[in-house]
Amino acid sequence: MKRTKRSIVTVLFLQSLFSWTANAAAAEKASWQVDWEKTVQAAKQEAQIVIYAALGPYHPQIFSEFQKDYPEIKATIIHGNSSRISPRLLAERRAGKYLADVYLGGPTSLYSFYQNKLFDPLTPVLVLPEVVDTSLWWDGKQLYIDPERKHIFVNEGSVSGFTITYNSQLAKAVEFKSYWDLLQPKWKGKIVSLDARDPGFGASELRYVYYHPELGGEFIRRLFGEMDVTLSREHQQAMDWIGLGKFALCAFCRDGSATKAKAQGLPVDYINHSDLKEMPRLRGSASAITLVNRAPHANAAKVFINWYLSRRGQIVYQESHGDRDSLRVDIPKDKVPAAQRRSAGRKYFFVDSPEYMDVKPAVKIIDDALGAKGRAQ
């Protein structure tokens, strides 16, 4: 009899425990749902959001799809490159105007804003479980480029590297198995390079080369000190020179421009980064999202940020461009070109991390190399 009573008590205890656990889980789920519903309703009352977005990675389709899902929130988009948007935002702040809610831009420019304390932490506004769940992101984590790892969220991880563009009548891809092949004597005087010291052109690629364990400062020194490289600050000029055969190779020219030139029938192509032995780079491109502090439409900003980082938002982001690989791993990748698509089992170098953000040491190497050749510019 006593044993039977103990069994009954045990069963009742376990039932109570399971019931409490289930109710607690339901309450937790209800908590985020309540938070989200209140945020959406408040955002609809605000009725607008102001987004500053860099040119290039933010296709208008992204914002039009957001409007379809949330027609009550009017999205005002301020498009432009960092040299236009950055002074505007800083001027507004000096005048005491707080107009921007969200800033979508490149890691380098956003990092400078972070240092000036212009952003609020993003992590507290991430609500949707599918956004918060790190297992749905590459390598089981979310990538932030600020030291606190909570302000500048990078959503793209396309395969890239240090781009070598070439004239297909003067050079062949099979001649390059490593980046060090760029330093072969046969290419001396036949290389044009965008000025990698200019943040608008090559800062991220320059950091990739400088901090790469298989390249480093010695590669930069030899490229600019030994190869008689001609510098250009105009991307189109450099690509025209390659297309015309004035130079055989271009360093730091964008691979997308080479693809476009090739489609136009010009003898221009670029080396596939994955075909070289050195570990490729994961390109954050200009694809990082931030919450501007003192945002006038904070609830609308919260809705947009969660929508943008959701599965739907990242499918829209990825497919609107066609050549970008979102860091979300639960969305189709078949439309991402093989050259930009991550491969399972391959190691990648994510250079947009706090410890790799300082480009000044690499710039100094270029200055010293050019100076030693009597070509300081």
CA dihedral 217, 246, 174, 194 (to 10 degrees): 30
Distance CA 125, CA 375 (A): 50
User: What pLDDT was estimated at residue 56?
Assistant: 63
- CB under 8 Å to 272, separation ≥6 — which residues? 173, 339
pLDDT digits over 246-285, tens only? Answer: 999 999 887 777 778 888 888 999 998 889 999 999 887 6
Look up residue 273 and give its two tokens.
Answer: 């980064």
Q: What is the pLDDT at residue 14?
A: 47
Q: In this prediction, what percent of the chain has a pLDDT beyond 70?
A: 88
Indicate the domain borders of the chain: 37-157+284-346, 162-279+358-372
pLDDT of residue 375: 60
Burial degree of 76 (CB within 10 A; 0-12, 13-18, 19+): middle
Q: Which residues pair with 326 in a beta bridge?
A: 156
User: Is the domain 162-279+358-372 a CATH 3.40.190.10 member?
Assistant: yes
SS3 at position 253: coil
Is residue 9 predicted with pLDDT exceeding 50? Answer: no
Nearest to 182 by CA among 208, 238, 220: 220
Question: 199 - beta bridge partners?
Answer: none
Span 2-17, average pLDDT: 50
Chain CA centroid to CA 155, Å: 6
Q: Calculate helix-pair angle for 60-69, 311-321, nearest 10 degrees.
A: 150
Average pLDDT of the chain, as a whole number: 87
The pLDDT assigned to 3 comes to: 52
Rounded mean pLDDT, 19-48? 78
Count of alpha carbons within 13 angstroms of residue 363, beta-carbon side: 14
Closest CA to 55 of 26, 34, 83, 32: 83
Q: What is the pLDDT of residues 125-136, one digit of tens each?
A: 999 999 999 999
**Range of 18-32, 195-209, 253-267, 331-345 with top mean pLDDT:** 331-345
How far is 158 from 110, CA to CA, in rounded Å?
19
| pLDDT tens digits along 221-240 | 999 999 999 999 888 899 99
CATH 3.40.190.10 fits 37-157+284-346, yes or no: yes
State pLDDT tens for residues 181-215: 999 999 999 999 988 887 665 678 899 999 999 99
Q: Average the pLDDT over each of 29-33, 97-101, 303-307 and give the range with the smallest value.
A: 29-33
Query: Are 37-157+284-346 and 162-279+358-372 in the same CATH fold?
Result: yes
